[in-house]
Structure 1
Amino acid sequence: MENSAAPWFFDAVEGWQREEAQRAAGNPHYWPADVFPVAHNAAFDLGFIWRRCIVLGVPMPPWLPGPLGRAGKDYACTMQTWAGYGQRVSLDALCKTLRLPSPKDGGMDGTQVFAAWQAGECERIAAYNLRDALTVGLIWQRIAGRGV
């Protein structure tokens, strides 16, 4: 099951990029279609994805930084950008600080994902992950000075 989820995820990300590029055609304020990963605690998330690709034998997309990737160069980390190198701030606390809705408000948090996976609740996990990704995107736009 996980073997098919990773390629599906990578295809979905690339599809989103194509769709966004089509929507942004002619927009002088468009952020380039090149994928620049942004995550909260990005070193953990991107490292986890990278390792799972190796374990599962799934080809890595060119945008996925390896273990030597650097925040600010190869990816962005909202936690590190906000809290500083070596410091931590939870996504929920950062949402409260910036007066943004927390993805945890949807009835699930990261500690519940494995149990939900074991129970086959893939749609519930996908909904949580989407809320999480959209929230991190809003945070990044805010702290990168792009409004919101």
Structure 2
Amino acid sequence: MFKSVFDRVWAFDCEWVPDPAAGRALYKLPAAMPDREVMEHMWQQAGASDEDPMPFLKTIVCRVVSIAAVTRQRRRDGSVQLHLLSLPKDVSDAAQAAEGHVIGTFLDAVGEHKPQLVGFNSIAADMKILLQRAVVNGLSAADFCHRPDKPWEGVDYFARGDAHVDIKDILGGWGKATPSLHELATLSGIPGKLDVDGNAVASLWLDGQLDRIVAYNECDALTTYLVWLRLAHLGGHFDDRAYAQEQQRVRDLLQAQIAQGRAHLAAFLEAWQVLSSRL
């Protein structure tokens, strides 16, 4: 269990797909080979079968296409503000959608604000792919990577501790006993996967539907944040009254976003209402 809740908390999630450029380079494929064929070749090399046509690929050969986060900030006067952030902000802008821009913007923001990061399998997966692909893209993120000489002298994202809370690391069991985020969320009255799951992301990317990937990513970040709230309540960081207030802040955030026409968040809120009514 984590010991504290920082004044800034960012519950984040990343989405990635096989990187055709990596496939062409590693397997010496023709430059003119279409992305879809390159990705299919990469899956074949990883042992694709009828039962598992898109097997797991090493994160180093995948490209990050979206990062989303629910950010919580407690101000000096005690007030709390929530925001839902996602990258790329404009999916139609090729410069913003470039992997280097997505990763660099996120790591620079984390380095500047030093939030408490919260994720699910984020120590082993999300953070690793961000670092691996930052190296591939030749990025510099000095503030994020800075390590203080002593633990009390600053935030260290490369040391086990409260700076990075991985929910799976805390609640996971042995092997198959570890719950998925969807299972953990659904049984807690929180929406997990709705109309899209992780296996569909590559197909959406190939079809040019980055907007749907970002929407899916935002829902995963919301799920992660709500599960973190429940875990923080378990740990005594929020009493019953405060926990109810924190959940209402999420509802208010969703309502504000829905008022701007964001239909996928309306579906998330509706699913949350249905699931929580069953508890």
Task: Report the TM-score, using the length of structure 1 for normalisation.
Answer: 0.70
Moved over 6 A (4+): none
Name stretches of at least 5 consecutive residues in structure 2 with no aligned partner: 1-18, 20-62, 82-112, 148-156, 248-279
TM-fit CA distance, 1:115: 1.9
In the other structure, the counterpart of 1:28 is 78
Q: Higher helix share goes to which structure?
A: 1
Secondary structure in structure 2 of the residue aligned to 1:144: helix
Deviations 1:97-117 (A, max 9, x none): 211111x11x11111112212
Query: Distance between the aligned counterparts of 1:85 and 1:71, measured in 2?
Result: 20
Rg comparison, structure with higher value? 2
Identity %: 25
Asked if the contact 1:37/1:64 (under 8 Å) is kept, the reply is: no
**Structure 1 residue aligned with 2:161, among 48, 59, 72?**
72
Q: Which residue of 1 aligns with 2:179?
A: 89
**RMSD of aligned alpha carbons:** 3.5
Alignment correspondent of 1:100: 190
1:1-148 matches, within 5 Å, as 21=73, 24-28=74-78, 30=80, 34-43=114-123, 44-60=125-141, 62-63=143-144, 69-84=158-173, 88-102=178-192, 104-105=193-194, 107-145=195-233, 146=238, 147=243, 148=247
| Structure 2 contact 116–162 (Cα < 8 Å) conserved | no
How many aligned residue pairs are there? 132
Q: 1 or 2 for the larger relative contact order (CA 8 Å, sep ≥6)? A: 2
| Contact 2:117 2:165 (C-alpha < 8 Å) held by counterparts | yes
- C-alpha separation in 2, matches of 1:110 and 1:71: 27
The answer as to whether partners of 2:121 and 2:168 remain within 8 angstroms in 1 is: yes
- The CA distance in 2 between the partners of 1:39 and 1:95, in whole Å, is 13
In proportion to residue count, which structure has more strand? 2
State how far apart, in whole Å, the 2-side matches of 1:112 and 1:57 are: 29
